[in-house]
């Protein structure tokens, strides 16, 4: 269906059988829907509208939609082919959507009128990869390009391993969102991923040496957005695995998951980007992805393996407890490795957690309300 199509949805609310939390399914159980990547802005600042990706059809294409949480209506924003519906995000002023289409074009879309503008074209011989992240002022963006000779689709986890061993030629780029000009920050033979501007500090960009956690000996790195001062953020100890780093939204620290093979318990760690000192904030069950609220007081994680829960950590009170069952399968679905991952994050008011799950059939979006004691 074309952009501007408005669909009436019907939310379904239930009580979690284990925790008593109120859980609301926002999207249909028979349509593939998912949230964007967990550290990208998906809610408008007032928390009333939500960006998500969906395959309403006809055809196999996934498009961006904006869900009005009051009227329960979803407005289709895009209708092109090959849209990366995981990496897109809303601008700080809630006027714009930025996303990458067909691994080739960085697109800016005005939410009022749905006019599109191509900000940047990936040059011939390169492929746009992964999630591209803007600075806090939304004037610049960092992203990864992989040389076309080294690129192949990462449509299952064996291909993920293959890409690591291929040591693709990668470059991290900075795009001026006003002019579309590109600068290369870093180029190397070896897989780069997850570039992230530090909030409110344009001089610091985090990135990772991408690949299976058991094959990476130093995942987290920092660099200036001018390409100067590349430095290892965390020197991993023997046998340590680190993954899924993110900036606390106020820019105070980078948080990441640390664990060792064979250990069920994992650690939530905080990294100071200036001193490069890490400290353990708390231990946790085997969660894969973490995200904090604005100031880092609350953290939510998605249990993996045989752990079906969203886990809530209140670092100020020193408490931890399951929030609700996500029961997602974590399977590769429709050749996508991410669509069944919960990827939880907080609503702007920190009163609920958004996540994806396929527990009711197709991947869908859910909101789990936080207990009143977290208010």
Beta 169-176 vs 140-147: how paired, if at all?
A: antiparallel
Cα separation, 212 vs 209, in Å, equals 10
Q: Can you name the residues that pair with 141 across neighbouring β-strands?
A: 134, 175
55-89 pLDDT, tens digit each:
999 889 999 999 999 999 999 999 999 999 999 99
What pLDDT sits at residue 334? Answer: 96
Q: Check if the beta carbon of residue 229 is closer than 8 Å to that of residue 178.
A: no
- Break the chain into its structural domains and give their ranges: 122-230, 233-362
Rounding to the nearest 10 degrees, give the CA dihedral for residues 60, 244, 259, 303. Answer: -50
Average pLDDT of each block of 10 consecutive residues along the chain (375 residues)?
96 98 98 98 98 94 98 98 97 98 98 98 98 98 98 95 98 98 98 98 97 96 97 96 97 97 94 97 97 98 97 97 98 96 98 98 98 76
pLDDT reported for residue 1: 85
What CATH fold (topology level) applies to the domain 233-362? Methylamine Dehydrogenase; Chain H (2.130.10)
DSSP string, 203-242: EEEEEEE-S-TTT-S--EEEE-TTS---EES--PPTTEEE
Cβ atoms within 10 Å of 178's Cβ, excluding its own: 9
pLDDT of residue 375: 57
Give residue 262's pLDDT: 87
pLDDT per residue as tens digits for the range 15-51:
999 999 999 999 999 999 999 999 999 999 999 999 9
Calculate the average pLDDT of the chain.
97
* pTM, entire model: 0.97
């Amino acid at each position: 269906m074309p952009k501007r199509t408005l669909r009436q949805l019907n939310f379904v609310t239930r009580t979690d059988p284990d925790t008593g939390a109120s859980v609301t399914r926002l999207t249909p159980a028979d349509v593939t829907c998912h949230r964007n990547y967990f550290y990208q802005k998906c809610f408008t600042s007032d928390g009333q509208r939500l960006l998500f990706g969906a395959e309403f059809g006809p055809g196999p294409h996934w498009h961006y939609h904006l869900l009005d949480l009051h009227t329960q209506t979803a407005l289709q924003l895009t209708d092109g082919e090959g849209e990366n519906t995981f990496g897109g995000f809303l601008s700080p002023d809630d006027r714009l959507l930025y996303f990458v289409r067909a691994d080739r074009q960085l697109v800016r879309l005005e939410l009022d009128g749905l006019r599109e503008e191509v900000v940047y074209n990936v040059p011939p011989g390169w492929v746009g990869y992964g999630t591209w992240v803007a600075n806090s002022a939304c004037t610049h963006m960092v992203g990864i390009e992989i040389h076309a000779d080294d690129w192949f689709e990462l449509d299952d986890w064996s291909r993920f391993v293959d890409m690591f061993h291929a040591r693709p030629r990668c470059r991290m780029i900075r795009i001026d969102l006003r002019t579309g000009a590109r600068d290369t920050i870093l180029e190397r033979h070896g897989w780069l991923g997850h570039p992230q501007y530090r909030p409110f500090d344009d001089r610091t960009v985090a990135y990772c040496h991408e690949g299976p956690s058991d094959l990476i000996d130093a995942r987290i790195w920092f660099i200036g957005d001018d390409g100067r001062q590349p430095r290892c953020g965390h020197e991993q100890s023997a046998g340590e695995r680190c993954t899924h780093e993110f900036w606390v939204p106020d820019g105070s620290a980078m948080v990441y998951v640390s664990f060792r093979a064979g250990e069920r318990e994992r650690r939530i760690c905080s990294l100071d980007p200036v001193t490069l000192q890490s400290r353990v904030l708390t231990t946790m069950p085997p969660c894969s992805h973490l995200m904090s609220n604005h100031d880092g007081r609350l953290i939510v994680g998605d249990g993996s393996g045989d752990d079906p829960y969203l886990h809530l950590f209140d670092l100020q009170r020193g408490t931890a407890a399951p929030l609700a069952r996500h029961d997602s399968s974590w399977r590769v679905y429709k050749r996508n490795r991410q669509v069944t991952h919960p990827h939880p994050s907080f609503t702007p008011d920190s009163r609920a957690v958004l996540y994806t799950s396929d527990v009711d059939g197709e991947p869908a979006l859910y909101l789990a309300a936080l207990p009143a004691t977290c208010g």
